């Protein structure tokens, strides 16, 4: 549409890049594919934005939204309830690990992260430890763009325009074993070192000042960093030793992306809080949630107790109805089982690309993978800023899309291509991804 740049301010977009060209406009989706305004079909290799887990074109989800809007389009959760929020909270609590039974609804992931940090601060104030307010998170990790969530985020490049941020954000190394600064010969030793970096950070800051550790089960930004063996178990021990809350940020990793309803279950650890959004509705309506343990709600159950936080559209009736219908699809079609049954085939298909000189590493789990690009596979030499600009933004993103694959080419860490297709995808889609990537990455190498 020629007028897209006249009034529409797109998110995380270099608007000037469309000054002389047309903005790609997606008009329809079905299954694992989307179509643009010219009728061209693309394989959705990113599930929209790690969102459309159940796939596009689910009429039953649209019908659930319409039915709820006709009954009760809106009512707030401020001192009132509505049936779909009650039902969904109960359903979520039945799926979470351990005693994560208290569901605080938001409209998205950043809001869920904000709510979690505020809860951590409020909890410690109400239990007699008011100086515990800081947060530990990892380098390159993305936790959202609102001011608190941005302060937890470990991506310097998206912070500069908005500084000074909320004080109290502490950064520690991530779990990129491919570029391990220590113990590169042992994933177990590297995991122990990375976990102990959290311990050292807490000790440096003072345990009486640290409220929480925010970690994604599998870190998104930087290119899909899985946890080394034993990493989360050691982090849990550290958090318990210093009375620090462990927040599992599962805005991406929950709802089947890793072959479980929650990533914490995939990697065998028990968080105190889970933050989630995206796949909870498969993107058919906006919804997020902070899910807390029973213990964290106790200080707010006194006669005058209140968690003084809320958002107008948190737990919107239509969104809750869509989420319930979405989870019915998950159960009826066993999408979790489908991911577990096909994740090895997805990995194996993507690993075929390691014969290309530009592919340094293929990593991830479930239906969530990153392919790191390098100049030299032997030395793992990466691209400088100018080369990365020319490779990713100047060629790869547009070339992959033109070839029929929507995915993410990202250089917020080392250059990577990220893939997270809808959970309905199978071998046909895996092969299509591999073939397109092979052709485009081969062309990219020839242009270096």
- Listing DSSP states for 254-321 in one string gives TTTTTSSSSHHHHHT---SEEEE-GGGTTTSS--EEEEE-HHHHGGG-STT-------TTTT-HHHHH
Please state, as a whole number, how many other Cβ atoms lie within 10 Å of the Cβ of residue 101: 16
Task: State the Cα–Cα distance between residues 275 and 92, nearest whole angstrom.
Answer: 12
3-class state of residue 377 by DSSP: coil
* Cβ atoms of residues 406 and 422 within 8 Å: no
User: What is the average per-residue pLDDT within 179-185?
Assistant: 95
Tokens found for residue 151:
């302060």
CA angle 146, 176, 267 (to 5 degrees): 80
Statement: residue 114 has pLDDT above 60: yes
3-class state of residue 381 by DSSP: strand
Q: Model confidence over 290-318: pLDDT tens digits?
A: 999 999 999 999 989 999 999 999 999 99
User: What is the average per-residue pLDDT within 265-286?
Assistant: 98
Task: State the Cα–Cα distance between residues 187 and 228, nearest whole angstrom.
Answer: 6
3-class state of residue 45 by DSSP: coil
Task: State the Cα–Cα distance between residues 54 and 367, nearest whole angstrom.
Answer: 12
Radius of gyration of the chain (CA): 22
User: What is the average per-residue pLDDT within 379-393?
Assistant: 87
Contacts of 295-302 spanning 24+ positions with Cβ under 8 A: 295/99, 296/102, 296/119, 296/123, 296/245, 296/272, 297/102, 299/122, 299/123, 299/126, 299/127, 300/122, 300/126
3-class state of residue 2 by DSSP: coil
pLDDT of 413: 77
Banded pLDDT at 419 (limits 50, 70, 90): very high
Please state, as a whole number, how many other Cβ atoms lie within 10 Å of the Cβ of residue 47: 29
Banded pLDDT at 1 (limits 50, 70, 90): very low
First to last CA, the chain: 33
Statement: residue 2 has pLDDT above 60: no
Q: Model confidence over 61-92: pLDDT tens digits?
A: 999 999 999 999 999 999 999 999 999 999 99
User: What is the average per-residue pLDDT within 190-201?
Assistant: 98
* 1 compared with 142, residue with greater pLDDT: 142
When the pLDDT of each residue in the chain is averaged and rounded to a whole number, the result is 96
Tell me which DSSP letter residue 218 carries.
S
pLDDT of 336: 98
Pairing state of beta strands 368-373 and 416-419? antiparallel
* 246 compared with 9, residue with greater pLDDT: 246
Tokens found for residue 207:
């345990």
Check whether the bond before 164 is cis (ω within 30° of 0).
Answer: yes
* Cβ atoms of residues 273 and 291 within 8 Å: yes
Residue (of 258, 298, 134, 286) closest to 208 by Cα position: 134
User: What is the average per-residue pLDDT within 228-237?
Assistant: 98
């Amino acid at each position: 549409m020629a007028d897209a740049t006249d009034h529409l301010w797109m998110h995380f977009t270099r608007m000037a890049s469309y000054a002389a060209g047309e903005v790609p406009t997606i008009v329809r989706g079905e299954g694992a594919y989307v179509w643009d305004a010219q009728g061209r079909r693309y394989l959705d290799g990113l599930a929209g934005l790690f969102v459309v887990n159940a796939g596009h074109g689910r009429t039953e989800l649209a019908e659930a939204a319409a039915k709820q809007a006709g009954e009760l389009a809106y009512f707030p959760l401020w001192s009132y309830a509505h049936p779909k929020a009650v039902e969904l909270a109960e359903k979520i609590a039945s799926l979470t690990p351990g005693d994560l039974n208290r569901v605080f609804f938001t409209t998205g992931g950043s809001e869920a992260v904000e709510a979690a940090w505020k809860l951590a601060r409020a909890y410690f104030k109400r239990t007699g430890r008011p100086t515990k307010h800081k947060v530990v998170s990892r380098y390159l990790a993305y936790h959202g763009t609102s001011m608190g969530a941005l302060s937890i985020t470990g991506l310097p490049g998206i912070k500069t325009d908005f500084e000074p941020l909320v004080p109290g954000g502490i950064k520690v190394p991530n779990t990129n074993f491919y570029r391990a600064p220590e113990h590169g010969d042992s994933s177990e030793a590297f995991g122990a070192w990375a976990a102990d970096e959290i311990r050292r950070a807490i000790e440096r800051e003072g345990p009486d000042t640290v409220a929480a550790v925010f970690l994604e089960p599998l870190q998104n930004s930087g290119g899909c960093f899985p946890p080394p063996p034993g990493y989360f178990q050691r982090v849990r021990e550290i958090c318990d030793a210093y009375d620090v809350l462990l927040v599992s940020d599962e805005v991406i990793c929950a709802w089947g992306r890793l072959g479980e309803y929650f990533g914490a279950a995939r990697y065998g650890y028990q968080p105190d809080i889970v933050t989630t959004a995206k796949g909870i509705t498969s993107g058919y309506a906006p919804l997020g949630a902070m899910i807390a343990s029973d213990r964290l709600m106790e200080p707010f159950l006194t006669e005058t107790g209140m968690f003084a936080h809320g958002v107008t559209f948190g737990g919107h009736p239509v969104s809750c109805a869509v989420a319930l219908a979405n989870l019915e699809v998950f159960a009826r079609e066993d999408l979790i089982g489908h991911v577990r049954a096909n994740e090895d085939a997805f990995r194996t298909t993507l690993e075929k690309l390691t014969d290309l000189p530009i592919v340094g590493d293929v990593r991830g789990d479930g239906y969530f993978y990153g392919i790191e690009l390098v100049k030299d596979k032997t030395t793992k030499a990466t691209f400088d800023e100018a080369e990365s600009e020319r490779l990713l933004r100047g060629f790869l993103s547009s070339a992959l899309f033109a070839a029929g694959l929507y995915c993410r080419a990202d250089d917020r860490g080392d250059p990577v291509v990220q893939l997270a297709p809808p959970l309905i995808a199978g071998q046909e889609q895996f092969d299509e991804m591999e073939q397109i990537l092979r052709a485009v990455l081969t062309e990219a190498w020839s242009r270096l």
